[in-house]
Amino acid sequence: MATPIELFIEEMQKLFQPDEVYIMDGSQEEAEKLANIAQKSKVDGKIVLEKLNEKEYPNSYYHRSNTNDVARTEHLTFVCTPSKTEAGPNNNWMDPVEAKEKMMGFFKGAMKGRTMYVIPFVMGPPKSKYAKNCIQVTDSVYVALSMRIMARVGKQAVERIGSSSDFFRGVHSIGDVNPDRRFIMHFPQENLVMSFGSGYGGNALLGKKCYSLRIGSYLGYQEGWLAEHMIIIGVEVPDGKVIYFLGAFPSACGKTNLALLEPVLKGYKVWTLGDDIAWINVGEDGRLYAINPEAGFFGVAPGTGLKTNPIMIKTLKNDKFFPTLFTNTAVDNSDNTPWWEGASDEIPSDLTNWQGQKYDKNLDKAAAHPNSRFTVSIYNCPTLSPEYNNPKGVPISGIIFGGRRKDTIPLVYEAKDWNSGVFTASIIGSETTAASSGQVGNVRRDPMAMLPFCGYNMGEYFQHWINIGKKVKKLPKIFMVNWFRKDENGKFMWPGFRDNSRIIKWMIYRIEGKTGAKESEIGLFPEENAIDLSGLDIKKETMEKLLKVDKQDWKREVAMIEEFYAKFGDKIPRDLRKHLTELKKKLGL
Ligand code: PEP
Ligand code: MN
Ligand code: NA
């Protein structure tokens, strides 16, 4: 009798009609073999992978994508639930029957002349009861290799699945990389994603945003846990204790830098557990525990340098795991290394830009695409937490939310209690970035940094957050931060990066009850001199501005929040409406 996995492969083979089927075992030899294939194959007339300087960047390869395929495409991403209300106004919706018919049209025979890679993988520590089993098929060797980095690929997934048919099915073909024939369709009820026409991370590595967030959030809603767009870090304090935090920020707001932070404060150390996704469960002791379902970083390259993220530079240059990929960066021809804005102060003189042409500083805005990326194993990370594979996860003491805002949102404040924190997170606004196609720099509401990733109605998602709070015995504290506030001259007021450890230190003092707080209209603020600014040259007035609640700004903010809430009608939990009414009253509205 055929197993459910075998039946799935057979079904995919019939549908796609590939010349060959290759089932991945996750081994190093296999990865080397695939990298060799990728160096000889072309997609769209471009060599898939090119070897980079082995001495500078061990195990590293360069990939240049089609210029139309450089970011997530939210307008082509759908949640296909039986009813539109279930998907909510936060998602594009299509009837599941119609969506499947559409995708079948694209899929039929799409792998003729190609190899179909079958990728069995586990999201989460394989010994964890919170981990989930998955299989993706793809005709892109770049996607197959990327999946090896981003997830725990191999036999353990097959073993875990056994004779069960309960596993996520990811169906992917890069097709002809044509945005007119590109869709990413989610079927939460069937634990299924169909994706066509893109090889880009969030569109194509289906274990990532598609499964671990969109399908995952839906599963969490059904099963009583949370799938979140969050980093996981352990902060070691001078006495050796480690305090675990989650941090949610919209794309390209510095999540990865915070996840690999090298604190400026003596005696502090950050242990990395994840930079993008957290699965959060209520543990046996009634505390919240988080695991990272992923096994690698898919990070934005520009802005990553020795000053902003020295640990990531070490990670990228580490030789532990094969391979590391660089996508749509520039290449320094003098030594065949990847280069991007912020990699060094000086621009190398002989650069090939991300589009494959000689870089001309008079013609090109940037040499690397602003959303160019690295894909690297978490095992390369020198600050990887020894708890990374703990099947129980790590106990969470604080949750940090943030956004990118030049005004309105103070540097840091604390929510009074869990539900105030849920409210605070539900009203996050952030300036849009290059991580998704579309205009950069507009403020859009991005609750919990989950707007593009919540796989069901966000009103119900807010209620789910409130419900989880009721099940937890020792609730984490919830904080809001904004590293990006600017002055009248458009200059960042807070140094950010390694100095953010000063804010985390204050949070730890709050968690441990070592410092008080001042109440304001929007939450609790640091007392005078409570933030450790030792060794930092920053004016008292600047700190005051950074921590100020500007009522005029907030009145504008409230209007935007009301407009956003209105989209969800009566799905917005009553308690959140109450918080909004109270906020308005405090602002004199
Ligand atoms: C992605 O698109 O795969 C991704 C990681 O996106 P982001 O960095 O925007 O969260
Ligand atoms: Mn992300
Ligand atoms: Na990221």
Q: Which ligand has its closest atom nearest to the C-alpha of 150?
A: 1
C-alpha triplet 98, 102, 108: angle, nearest 5°? 135
Model confidence band, residue 432 (pLDDT cutoffs 50, 70, 90) = confident
Gyration radius from the chain CA atoms: 23
For ligand 1, atom 2, the nearest C-alpha belongs to 202
Are 100 and 113 a contacting pair, CB within 8 Å? no
User: Which ligand 1 atom minimizes the distance to the CA of 209?
Assistant: 3
Q: Which of 328, 304, 333 is nearest to 317 (CA)?
A: 304
* Residues 62-69, mean pLDDT to the nearest whole number: 98
Would you state the pLDDT for residue 252? Answer: 77
Q: Answer whether residue 344 shows pLDDT above 80.
A: yes
Summarize the confidence of residues 388-414 as an average pLDDT: 98
Instruction: Report the pLDDT value the prediction gives residue 217, as an integer from 0 to 100.
Output: 99
**Which residue is associated with the tokens 């009837």?**
95
How does the average pLDDT of the chain come out, rounded?
A: 97
Expressed in angstroms and rounded, the spacing between residue 370 Cα and the centre of ligand 3 is 13
The atom number, within ligand 1, closest to the CA of 72 reads 2
The pLDDT of residue 207: 98
Q: Which atom of ligand 1 is nearest to the CA of 208?
A: 3
Alpha-carbon span 93 to 91, nearest angstrom: 6
CA of 295 to the centre of ligand 3 (A): 13
Q: Report the nearest atom of ligand 1 relative to the CA of 229.
A: 10
In this prediction, residue 436 carries a pLDDT of 75
* 130 C-alpha to ligand 1 centroid (Å): 23
Asked whether the predicted pLDDT for residue 440 surpasses 80, the reply is no
pLDDT in tens, 539-557: 999 999 999 999 999 999 9
Question: How many residues belong to the chain?
Answer: 589
- Looking at the DSSP bridge assignments, the partners of residue 320 are none
Report residue 236's pLDDT band, with 50, 70 and 90 as the boundaries: very high
- Label the pairing between strands 60-63 and 50-51: antiparallel
Average pLDDT rounded to a whole number, residues 176-198: 98
Nearest to 79 by CA among 451, 469, 540: 451
Binding region for substrate: 72, 200-202, 251, 371-373
Atom of ligand 1 nearest to the CA of 435: 9
Question: What residues are designated binding site?
Answer: 72, 200-202, 209, 229, 251-257, 276, 371-373, 404, 497-500
Crossing angle of the two packed helices 216-223 and 458-471, in degrees rounded to 10: 50
User: Which amino acid residue places its CA nearest to atom 8 of ligand 1?
Assistant: 251
Q: CB neighbours (10 Å) of residue 231?
A: 29
Q: What is the per-residue DSSP string for 325-345?
A: EEES-EEETTTTEEE-TTS-S
Closest CA to 170 of 120, 125, 222: 120
Compute CA distances 469 → 4, 228, 417, whole Å: 37, 15, 10
Which atom belonging to ligand 1 lies closest to the Cα atom of 298? 5
Q: What is the 3-state secondary structure (H, E, C) of 107-128?
A: HCCCCCCCEEEEEEEEECCCCC
Which domains does the chain carry? Answer: 4-43+71-224 (3.40.449.10), 227-296+386-571 (3.90.228.20), 297-380 (2.170.8.10)
Those residues whose C-beta lies under 8 Å from the C-beta of residue 253, and which sit 6 or more positions away, are: 402, 403, 404, 430, 433, 449, 483, 484
Amino acid at the residue 209? K
CB 234 within 8 A of CB 396: no
Q: Tell me the per-residue pLDDT of 259-307, one tens digit each, with 9 for 90 and over.
A: 999 999 999 999 999 999 999 999 999 999 999 999 999 999 999 999 9
Does the annotation count 134 as an active-site position? no
Q: Contact 545/538 with Cβ under 8 angstroms?
A: no
Counting ligand 1 atoms within 8 A of each CB, the residue from 142, 149, 298 with the most, and so the one to mutate, is 298
Q: In what order do the strands lie in the sheet with 351-352?
A: 337-339, 330-332, 351-352
Q: What gap in Å lies between CA 185 and CA 239, rounded to an integer? A: 49
**What lines the ligand 1 site, CB under 6 Å?**
72, 201-202, 208-209, 251, 276, 298, 435
User: What integer is the mean pLDDT of 217-238?
Assistant: 98
Question: How far apart, in Å, are the Cα atoms of 100 and each of 91, 116, 185, 187?
Answer: 17, 20, 8, 9
pLDDT of residue 21: 98
Identity at 229, one-letter amino acid code = H
pLDDT given at position 410:
98
Cα angle, residue 26 at apex, residues 22 and 27 outer, rounded to 5°: 105
Q: Is the pLDDT of residue 190 over 90?
A: yes
Asked whether the predicted pLDDT for residue 152 surpasses 90, the reply is: yes
By alpha-carbon position, which residue is closest to atom 4 of ligand 1?
202
Q: pLDDT tier at 55 (50, 70, 90 boundaries)?
A: very high
CA distance 259 to 278: 12
Q: How far is the CA of 223 from the centre of ligand 3 (A)?
A: 26
Q: Give the mutation target among 74, 193, 195, 208 for probing the ligand 1 site: most ligand atoms within 8 A of CB.
A: 208
Residue 230 alpha carbon to ligand 2 centre in Å = 8
Nearest Cα residue to 90 out of 559, 572, 441, 482: 572
* Ligand of minimum distance to the alpha carbon of 297: 3
Separation of CA 535 and ligand 2 centre (Å): 32
Q: Is residue 225 within 8 Å of 464, Cβ to Cβ?
A: no
DSSP-assigned states of every residue in 15-50: HH--SEEEE----HHHHHHHHHHHHH-EETTEES-E
Structure tokens at 152: 């725990």
Helices and strands (H and E) in the chain: how many: 16, 32
Residue nearest ligand 1's atom 10 by CA? 251
Positive or negative torsion for Cα 427, 430, 432, 434: negative
pLDDT of 8: 98
DSSP H or E segment with residue 519: strand 517-519
The bridge status of strand 60-63 relative to strand 324-327 is: parallel
What is the share, in percent, of the chain residues with pLDDT greater than 70? Answer: 100
For ligand 1, atom 1, name the residue with the nearest CA: 202
Q: Residue 251: is its pLDDT beyond 90? A: no
pLDDT, position 60:
98
Question: What percent of the chain is modeled with pLDDT above 90?
Answer: 97
In this structure, the number of other CB atoms found within 10 A of the CB of residue 578 comes to 12
Determine the residue of 211, 249, 276 to mutate for testing ligand 1's pocket, defined as the one with the most ligand atoms within 8 A of the Cβ atom: 276
* Residue 439: predicted pLDDT: 73
Instruction: Give the pLDDT score at 522.
Output: 98
- Tell me which ligand sits closest to the C-alpha of residue 371: 1
Q: Of 134, 253, 381, 454, which one is the catalytic site residue?
A: 253
Q: Is the peptide bond before 323 cis (omega within 30 degrees of 0)?
A: yes
Which tens digit of pLDDT belongs to each residue from 90-138?
999 999 999 999 999 999 999 999 999 999 999 999 999 999 999 999 9
312 CA distance to ligand 3 centroid (A)?
12
**CA–CA gap between residue 432 and residue 250 (Å, rounded):** 8
